[in-house]
Homo-oligomer: A and B are copies of this chain.
Amino acid sequence: MTESPDTGAADPGPTQRSPLQGQVVFEDADYLDAVVDLLGAIAYGELSAFERLVDDARLAPSLRDKVEMCAMASLEFGHVTRLHERLVSLGADPFAAMAPFEAPIDLFHAHTAPADWYEGLIKAYVGDGLAADFYREIAAYLDAETRDLIVASLADAGQASFAVRHIRQAIDADPRLGGRLALWGRRLMGEALTQAQRVAAERDALTALLAGGIDRPGLDLAAIGRMFTRITERHADRMSELGLSA
């Protein structure tokens, strides 16, 4: 694969200059709010990814493929428990923390219901990859403990190699499929951006985190631009890994 958990910290390297260590940083109420928001968003994202993977597994062409997709789903669910434990240790209610993200994440899924097994596979790989890249970019601005938990929660559960293998085989067998699936990838990207924008507009703590604070480095507009460029490039990498144009 073309990505690694470290790439999110490549520019401008806030984690190297940042003084965010241990529990001290959580004395800043705004920072705590932002971390609770972020963990809540990821936890709800993983929960709904779990549900969607199990749902999309029904489209599997064989019992073997179905079991493999359900196994990936089960792995994703394991992360929810660990994110909840962290939220509780920060004094937050995990269910209250997830609640604000139900609507945008459910809408993302409602607008991207796969029409067949292949669209489901691409969604599992490309959709989860997009979300993971975005969260990892934000995680680079956090204390080490929170960042490590987030990076571990976003580890690929096997979707990548599973999807790449199946999609490449399918396009070899029916090259016309490539055009439809390339469009599908663009739609996933567009819908993800729409919902991310909605969250950014509604969750002040999260956007304030990116903007920085008195003793926390933040992103200026140029840096935010570079962040979106990186996310877009990684999306294109994944699409070409699948043999599709982005």
Q: Chain B interface: which of A61-69, A171-179, A193-201? A: A61-69
Which of A51, A57, A67, A99 has the most chain B CB within a 10 Å cutoff?
A67
In the assembled complex, which residues on chain B have CB atoms less than 8 Å from the CB atom of A51? Answer: 54, 57-58, 70
**Identical chains in the assembly:** 2
Min CB–CB distance A244 → chain B (angstroms): 29
Knowing A54-B51, A54-B54, say if A74 contacts B78 (CB, 8 Å).
yes
In the assembled complex, which residues on chain B have CB atoms less than 8 Å from the CB atom of A55? Answer: 54-55
In the assembled complex, which residues on chain B have CB atoms less than 8 Å from the CB atom of A64? Answer: 95
Of B58, B70, B81, B95, the residue contacting A71 (CB under 8 A) is: B81
- CB <8 Å contact, A99 and B63: yes
In the assembled complex, which residues on chain B have CB atoms less than 8 Å from the CB atom of A141? Answer: none
Does any Cβ of B come within 8 Å of A98's Cβ? yes
Min CB–CB distance A124 → chain B (angstroms): 15
- CB <8 Å contact, A95 and B50: no
User: Helix, strand, loop or mixed for chain A's interface?
Assistant: helix
Size bin of chain A's contact surface: 20 to 34
CA distance A81 to B51 in the complex (A): 19
In the assembled complex, which residues on chain B have CB atoms less than 8 Å from the CB atom of A26? Answer: none
In the assembled complex, which residues on chain B have CB atoms less than 8 Å from the CB atom of A98? Answer: 63
Does any Cβ of B come within 8 Å of A85's Cβ? no
In the assembled complex, which residues on chain B have CB atoms less than 8 Å from the CB atom of A58? Answer: 51
CA distance A54 to B56 in the complex (A): 12
Min CB–CB distance A104 → chain B (angstroms): 15
Query: Which positions in A face B, CB cutoff 8 Å?
Result: 47, 50-51, 54-55, 57-58, 62-64, 66-67, 70-71, 73-74, 77-78, 80-81, 84, 95, 98-99, 102
Beyond known contacts A47-B66, A51-B70, A54-B73: 13 more, CB 8 A cutoff: A47-B67, A47-B70, A51-B54, A51-B57, A51-B58, A54-B54, A54-B55, A63-B98, A67-B84, A70-B80, A71-B77, A74-B74, A74-B77
